[in-house]
Amino acid sequence: MDFSSIVGWTGTALIVIAYFLVSTKKVEATSKAYQLMNVAGAIGLGVSAFTQASWPNFGLQVIWFVIGLYSLFKIFATGKTPA
């Protein structure tokens, strides 16, 4: 397994764990932990998608990353969770 695949699988694990935690109400969708896992997961999957030229997947990860980054910005800058 190459480095890109390891990074991609790590990103996959982070996103799935984040989803599981929200679905089981262990974390809130507006929590820092959830948003950080999604951002890190999007980076991992984005790296893998880019190196494999999987452009639709890469585009999705860019969008996922931007949404998570926006949410984190709102949490850290205003002290409020995004609406």
The answer to whether residue 47 sits within a structural domain is yes
Instruction: Pick the closest to residue 15 from 47, 37, 44, 46 (CA basis).
Output: 37
The answer to whether residue 83 sits within a structural domain is no
The answer to whether residue 49 sits within a structural domain is yes
| Residue type for position 71 | S
| Structural domain total, the chain | 1
Which residue segment(s) compose the domain that 46 sits in? 3-78
| 10-25 per-position pLDDT tens digit | 999 999 999 999 999 9
Question: Which position has the token pair 């980076």?
Answer: 43
Contacts for 73 with CB less than 8 Å, ≥ 6 apart? none
pTM exceeding 0.85? yes
Cα 4 from Cα 11, distance rounded (Å) = 11
The answer to whether residue 7 sits within a structural domain is yes
The answer to whether residue 9 sits within a structural domain is yes
pLDDT at 5 over 90: yes
